[in-house]
Amino acid sequence: MEPVTLTLMIGVGLAGVIAFIAGIIEDAESDAGSSSNPNSQVQLAPQIGHIITYYDKAIAGEPPQNGLWAAGACTIALLLSWRFVDLGMGQYYAVFFAAVAGAAVIALVQGCFGIFAHISRITSMAAFKQPLYWHALLTPLPYSMGLCFLTALLLTLLAFVASGILGNSFAPPLIALFMGITLGSIASGSGDIHYGAERLYQHLPFGSGIAISNQGDIDLKGEYGFRNSVDTPYFCMRFGGTITALAFGLLIFLDGWSRLFTFAGRWTSIILEAVIVAILFIFLNRLEKYTRDSYGPYPGQEDA
Amino acid sequence: MDPITAMIGIIVGGIIVGICVHFIPASAVGAMSASTGIATGPSMLSTGCGLAGLYAAGYMIGESTPLVVLSGAMGSALMIICTMLLANTICAFGTGVAPVAGSYDKDPITGWRQKPFMSPGTDGHSMPTTTALSGIIGALLGGAGGSLVFVSVYEMISPILEHTTAITIAGMVGAGVFLINCVLPAYVLVGKSEGMTDKKMKLLHKTFVSCLIVSVITAVFVYASVVVI
């Protein structure tokens, strides 16, 4: 096997693994901060008389927010890595330590963002007698910052792998921005269903979407005492987070994998990706058939 | 590619990016399994899938234009099918519902009835086959449009700038077009779209006109900054 192909294969595997872990962590970060679409339910709750103790930092959409963290961390990391190389450090060490420093700075920025976002969100609910509980802010804040640190670090490393090993033409900060926004929209579109439709409404029967009339009637009690935002990723990471990770990991891995072959010249990756899309579409159709057969129609709606 | 052709490329790409949003099924209340579509806003989802396409196109820059455009389209399609398949998986095993569309009674491709499987009080959940196909069409359009903008800007500025700088600026313009043109249809979609089976497809001309105006401004600005100044 040629050394170039071996390096590419290692790069593809590494990118897939980093993307997979980043997917889990990013979904947990958004769940901890209620920073995606289910935050509408958290905001509705005080309006129907529920006093909440959730951490709510949803003042920006999850994709641009995540893109900002990733691009910011990667920009700092790129600049620092040049400086570290100038000081005589090895290239790979320089990138890794610079990525850690960049992610640490961004975690602090996210902490400031989270504090002000939560305070402004909660005080806007004062008309509905929602108090500003400090424990609801201070308990999940370090946790959320830690998850943000890991997400920014992993996306920065992913950007460097895509640029340095896989040969993407874009500069690493731009790749980090693309990956951040893409991961944010994947996590928002898949993982958050587990938070919004299941975790927030565990008192409703399993096997149904949340009817409009029930929206806002979220769970207030946790496994132990009042539910806070540290409990949420504990539940969602086991299924919602893993599935998000699978979606993002598959995207990065399959996109890189399709570029390892050359049987049709430069068209190879396009042909392979078209085949993969067709196969996944068939999977989607079979999953639909399976769920329809397994669950059946709702009682009383058989002839609707 | 001469500057005028590149300018036309930016305009056409920008319009396609706007139109793609109509095809991508997305709904914010989908996060509560209360509506058909991927569980996030159509604009941000389209941006995310378009940027995945730009990332894929980044591997092909320097090749012929059709290669870059098709690579971007397939990268986008891969992102959207991964998201839809795994979102359906969460709906199936995380909340226990089958994919159901609110905009049609019988699926045009599979012929499966939708209403009996719709949970009471909701407007559908996740993506059945036809809705998913609409999402793939939208992603192909979005990825192709964004990559066309990217390659057009690159071809326009590459004679006067260094290779790496030209790619970075072209990528930023491509990403910027997504952030502008994907948001414009939000005014007609108002946070929810079921793709090509949705009645809001009749409002496509409004998106077309708004994206045309914005893309012309973008293209003239890029042309002026590169060729005139």
**Which residues in chain B have Cβ-Cβ distances shorter than 8 Å to A213?**
121
Which residue's entry shows tokens 């199936």?
Answer: B92
Return the residue of A nearest to B67 by Cα.
A267
The Cα B24–Cα A20 span in angstroms is 24
* B25 has pLDDT over 80: yes
**Which residues in chain A have Cβ-Cβ distances shorter than 8 Å to B151?**
none
The Cα A36–Cα B45 span in angstroms is 12
Residue of A43, A186, A294 best to disrupt the B interface, most CBs of B under 10 A? A186
| Residue B62, pLDDT score | 83
Strand locations in A38-194, DSSP E? none
Rounded mean pLDDT, A52-73: 92
Instruction: Determine whether the interchain pair B82/A297 forms a contact, defined as Cβ–Cβ distance below 8 Å.
Output: no
Work out the minimum CA distance from A74 to partner chain B, whole angstroms: 15
* A171 has pLDDT over 90: yes
Instruction: Determine whether the interchain pair A239/B94 forms a contact, defined as Cβ–Cβ distance below 8 Å.
Output: yes
Contact indicator for B123, B36 with CB cutoff of 8 Å: yes
Amino acid at A70: A
The Cα B47–Cα B42 span in angstroms is 9
Q: The domain containing residue B122 runs over which residues?
A: 3-228
Burial class (CB in 10 A: 0-12, 13-18, 19+), A185: buried
Structure tokens at B156: 């326009």
Rounded mean pLDDT, A45-66: 91
Residues 174-213 of B with CB under 8 A from A: 175
Return the residue of B nearest to A209 by Cα.
B33
| Residue A3, pLDDT score | 62
On the CB side of A296, CA atoms within 13 Å amount to 6
Q: What is the pLDDT of residues B170-198, one digit of tens each?
A: 999 999 999 999 999 988 888 888 989 98
Rounded mean pLDDT, B214-223: 93
β-strand partners of B106: B113
Q: What is the pLDDT of residues A211-253, one digit of tens each?
A: 988 888 999 988 788 888 898 898 999 999 999 999 999 999 9
First-to-last alpha carbon distance for chain B, in angstroms, is 19
Give CA torsion, residues B42, B43, B49, B54, to 10 deg: 160
Work out the minimum CA distance from B177 to partner chain A, whole angstroms: 13
Instruction: Determine whether the interchain pair A169/B54 forms a contact, defined as Cβ–Cβ distance below 8 Å.
Output: no
Residues in chain B: 229
Residue of A43, A68, A165, A251 best to disrupt the B interface, most CBs of B under 10 A? A251
What is the pLDDT confidence band of residue A2, given thresholds at 50, 70 and 90? low
Rounded mean pLDDT, B8-17: 94
The dihedral region occupied by B101, where left means phi > 0, alpha psi between -120 and 50, and beta the remainder, is beta
Sequence ranges of the domains in chain A: 3-260, 264-304
Which residue's entry shows tokens 């700092």?
Answer: A76
* B37 has pLDDT over 80: yes
Please report, rounded to a whole number, the percentage of residues in chain B having pLDDT higher than 90.
Answer: 69
The Cα A105–Cα A247 span in angstroms is 28
Rounded mean pLDDT, A181-202: 92
Work out the minimum CA distance from B107 to partner chain A, whole angstroms: 12
β-strand partners of B35: B123
Residues 34-73 of B with CB under 8 A from A: 34, 38-41, 44-45, 47-49, 51-52, 54-56, 58-63, 67, 70-71
Rounded mean pLDDT, B32-55: 91
Contact indicator for B222, B10 with CB cutoff of 8 Å: yes
Q: Does B127 touch chain A (CB under 8 A)?
A: yes
Contact indicator for A154, A22 with CB cutoff of 8 Å: yes
For helices A172-186 and A140-164, the axis angle rounded to 10 degrees is 130
Contacts of A6 (CB under 8 A, 6+ apart): none
The SS3 assignment for B13 reads helix
| Residue A225, pLDDT score | 85
Q: What is the pLDDT of residues A96-127, one digit of tens each?
A: 999 999 999 999 999 999 999 999 999 999 99
Q: How many domains does chain B have?
A: 1
* A1 has pLDDT over 60: no
Q: Minimal CA–CA distance to A94: which of A82, A102, A106, A103?
A: A82
B40 → closest Cβ in A37, A170, A254: A37
Beta pairing class for B123-126 and B35-36: parallel
Structure tokens at B216: 């012309």
Instruction: Determine whether the interchain pair A270/B74 forms a contact, defined as Cβ–Cβ distance below 8 Å.
Output: yes
Give CA torsion, residues A21, A22, A26, A32, to 10 deg: 40
* A302 has pLDDT over 90: no
The Cα B7–Cα B216 span in angstroms is 8
| Residue B218, pLDDT score | 92
The SS3 assignment for B101 reads coil
The SS3 assignment for B42 reads helix
Instruction: Determine whether the interchain pair A178/B61 forms a contact, defined as Cβ–Cβ distance below 8 Å.
Output: no
DSSP letters spanning B66-119:
HHHHHHHHHHHHHHHHHHHHHHHHIIIIII----B-SS-SB-TTT--B-GGGSP
Amino acid at B16: I
The Cα B101–Cα B114 span in angstroms is 6
Rounded mean pLDDT, A83-87: 95
Residues in chain A: 304
Please give the mean pLDDT across all residues of chain A: 92
Work out the minimum CA distance from A267 to partner chain B, whole angstroms: 7
How much is the pTM? 0.95
Q: What is the pLDDT of residues A252-273, one digit of tens each?
A: 999 999 988 888 888 999 999 9
Instruction: Determine whether the interchain pair A211/B77 forms a contact, defined as Cβ–Cβ distance below 8 Å.
Output: no
Structure tokens at B114: 């939708």
Q: What is the pLDDT of residues B102-151, one digit of tens each?
A: 888 999 999 999 999 999 889 998 999 999 999 999 999 999 999 999 99
Residues 88-117 of B with CB under 8 A from A: 88-99, 110, 112, 115-117
Rounded mean pLDDT, B1-10: 90
Q: How many CB atoms lie within 10 A of CB B176?
A: 13
Q: How many CB atoms lie within 10 A of CB A205?
A: 7
The Cα B135–Cα B81 span in angstroms is 8
Helix, strand, coil distribution of chain A in percent, nearest 5: 70, 0, 25
* A19 has pLDDT over 80: yes
The backbone torsions φ and ψ at residue A271, rounded to the nearest 5 degrees and listed phi first, read -60, -45
Residue of B27, B90, B119, B167 best to disrupt the A interface, most CBs of A under 10 A? B90
* A158 has pLDDT over 60: yes
Instruction: Determine whether the interchain pair B94/A189 forms a contact, defined as Cβ–Cβ distance below 8 Å.
Output: no
Q: How many CB atoms lie within 10 A of CB B164?
A: 11
What is the pLDDT confidence band of residue B227, given thresholds at 50, 70 and 90? confident
| Residue B191, pLDDT score | 80
